[in-house]
Amino acid sequence: MRKRKLWNKTLSIMLATTMIATSGVVSKTSMTYAGESKEYIVMAENRQELNSFMEQYGDKIVEEKSTDLLEKGNMTVIDMTEAEVASIVSTFDDDGLIIEENMTVTAMAEESNEVRETLEEESDPQQTTWNIKAVNASPEELNTVTGSAIAKTMDNSSNIKIAIIDSGIDALGEVEPVERINLTPAFGEGEEKEVVSPIFEDVTGHGTSVAGIISAADDEYGLVGINPNAQLYDIKVFDEANNAPLSRILEGIQCAMEHDVNILNMSFGTPVSSEIFHQKIANAYHQGMLLIAASGNNGVVEYPAAYDEVMAVGATTEKNKVADFSITGTKSEIVAPGAAVLTSGLFGGYGVANGTSISAPHVSAAASLLWAKDTTKSNDFIRQLLNQSARKLEDENSGNGLLDVTKAFEIYDQFAEVYEPGKVEYKEIPENEDALETFDENYVVGSWKSDGHNGVLEDSGLTTEGLAVVKLGGIAADQPKYGLTGMGHYPQLHGFTSWTDSDGVKKKCNYMSSYIYLTKMALGFPNKKTNTNTYTRPNKPDYMEVHDYNQIKSIVTAKEFGGVSWNTILESTGVTDKNKRLFMYGVALHTVTDLFAHSTYTMEGTYINHDNGADEPNVAKYRYECAKEMAKQVIKRMKRSTEGTLEDFKNAVSVYREDSKEGFKITSYSKRAEQVDPVYYDTNKDEFDKVSQYK
């Protein structure tokens, strides 16, 4: 068996202000003292030591990053020069502190230039994709081994908690976590605080693709995950560039520990080791958590996968070969499909993805099924069971072999009889040499398809990259760099009902006309994949108030949005007219979905503000359902290159139900519709009035 020895290192006193990875060890090096300050993470041996440090250096603490979660783990973040850190080294050298630079960690995503023929047929009805079959995890395959027992195991699997530390999970798809925890910073204070809606939570689609492998719903449509019943905790740490400071990763791990999670999926990595990171990983492992991580796509096992407490997962192709982007050597502990895998994508569709990021969740999901058979088993038992049951491959880079869920169930009882904690070689269990099935799939990496059910789009030639541009537009109004934050300053961009202008005059905002105008602005850009640097500003519609028009007419030009150049905004996705158009559709999408967060009242007439749940989907939950339905209307407009209409607002509330607990009211809904189009409003009066009027 290829298995790295598990070990528990007693934390020694170590102060490393500059980290160098040498055979996985962090070394203290000579420092170049400079006046420029940096962020550092401080980990103390206990809370008393942390408090002592914070009392002495309180003015150096970065408040917005030194969260309660970090402090529960005896950590904080400081901003100091190297010279100041060197002074701490001499002062606290015997007090059990570790200080390391707050480096950046990146979610793993493999780019591919591979060109394949796209899917020709819709994903309806539900299909089992090749990757699920490759690891023998389809319900049909499991039933051949476990019979009726699998039903009980699947039911019990809802008791197993899996946390995904990633970029978030798209709210419009087939994966619904039991809890969404967003650790990325919010901007503003009080009623001006900008909290990201779950609809825009995952900008890149990375976390959504990971989550789909684990638990896409078993609803007779589209795709299905390996364990649709898993309790999934969505811990968002990565920003729109799939980056996060190490301090936020540590927060995520602490959050998982606070929720008593059984399995932690980590599809991210860094080539640099960190003593603090390793210590936190060890804490989680010794709490009983099974830690599973992507091994990396750059020819070397990255951290946390390289730590002995973590299962490092490499990637295979549909031909059961180790993918060429997966790691070399024998560092992967186990391998699973990770090349051209069809999984959950943005806006309720599906994307085709590459990378060990996609391999890791196969193992996490399999572990949750096996653990459900007997929840008293340890994390090490499940880990060794997965390793022992893996199908041996000829490639030496495959570690213990290809994940095989059915075989794991087959040998479960036999393995339980011989299992010993810490043991990694089990000659009593025959090696898995079952026949391997290969597959022929025609998926285009980066392509996107609707599921025909929950999905928003029909097949449209859009890529996951294009949809990510829409998401970028969807979060733009909440980002200070554009100068458009605050529903009290720019209600036209935040779905709010009024604002106070520069002269101190309070004015009403028609969020419906503002949305329609924003879609017109999107269409002001040519639908071209080149950059012509042209933009035609739409004229003010007759129904639009002059003050609303003046407030937003100049936020976009051919060369910039919100004062930031398109070259900067679209640097990673491509500066094209089409992407500018997609971005502006995202801005429109933001204002109409924010409407259901910022302008709603309870059925009893209480305004739902930030303090009583404006940004919580479970508060008056029909707000959230209507926001999702509105998102579908906007995306359809985008696909068809048409401007918004009042029909979008009518369709958005088609899912609304009057309910004393889950219902809501937007008292201005009918009036704003009548201002835009009196005839349309009169024809559809009942639909608008049902969310406007109290009975």
Length of the chain: 695
Separation CA 25–CA 22 (nearest Å): 5
Distance, in Å, from the CA atom of 209 to the CA atom of 186, rounded to the nearest integer, reads 24
Ramachandran area for residue 88 (φ above 0: left; ψ -120 to 50: alpha; else beta) = alpha
Residues contacting residue 141 through CB under 8 Å, at least 6 positions apart: 133, 405, 406
Task: Indicate if 247 belongs to the active site.
Answer: no
Provide the sign of the torsion angle of the four alpha carbons 278, 280, 283, 285, taken in this order: negative
The 3-class secondary structure across 633-672, one letter per residue, is: HHHHHHHHCCCCCHHHHHHHHHHCCCCCCCCCECCCHHHH
Q: Are 446 and 527 in contact (CB under 8 A)?
A: no
Task: Please name which of 291, 308, 309, 306 lies closest in space to residue 360, comparing C-alpha atoms.
Answer: 291
Judged on CB neighbours under 10 Å (0-12, 13-18, 19+), 363 is buried
CA dihedral 512, 514, 517, 521 (to 10 degrees): -140
H or E element, residue 235: strand 231-236
Please name every residue paired with 182 in a beta bridge, in sequence order, or none if there are none: 236
C-alpha triplet 409, 137, 346: angle, nearest 5°: 145
> Which residues, including other chains, have CB under 8 Å from residue 137's CB and lie 6 or more apart?
226, 362, 365, 366, 369, 405, 406
User: Any catalytic annotation for residue 209?
Assistant: no
Is 313 within 8 Å of 295 (Cβ atoms)? yes
Q: Token pair of 477, please?
A: 């109004």
Nearest to 271 by CA among 22, 98, 32: 22
Measured CA to CA, the distance from residue 253 to residue 22 in angstroms comes to 25
* 375 burial level (CB within 10 Å; 0-12, 13-18, 19+): exposed
Structure tokens at 123: 């994903």
Beta strands in 424-484 (DSSP E): 448-450
Q: Which of 206, 362, 494, 590 is flagged as catalytic?
A: 206
Q: Pick the catalytic residue from 357, 398, 514, 599.
A: 357
- As a whole number of angstroms, the distance between CA 160 and CA 370 comes to 10
Q: Is residue 129 within 8 Å of residue 377, measured between CB atoms? A: no
Q: Is the dihedral of CA 78, 80, 82, 86 positive or negative?
A: negative
Cα–Cα distance measured from residue 432 to residue 388, given in angstroms and rounded to the nearest whole number: 8
Cα 423 from chain centroid? 35
Of 466, 314, 487, 329, the C-alpha closest to 403 is 314
Token couple for 659: 């309910």
Q: Would residue 166 show up in a list of annotated catalytic residues for this protein?
A: yes
Q: What torsion do the CA atoms of 320, 364, 448, 337 make, to the nearest 10 degrees?
A: -10
Nearest to 648 by CA among 609, 583, 591, 580: 591
Which of these is catalytic: 166, 459, 478, 615? 166
Residues forming the active site? 166, 206, 357
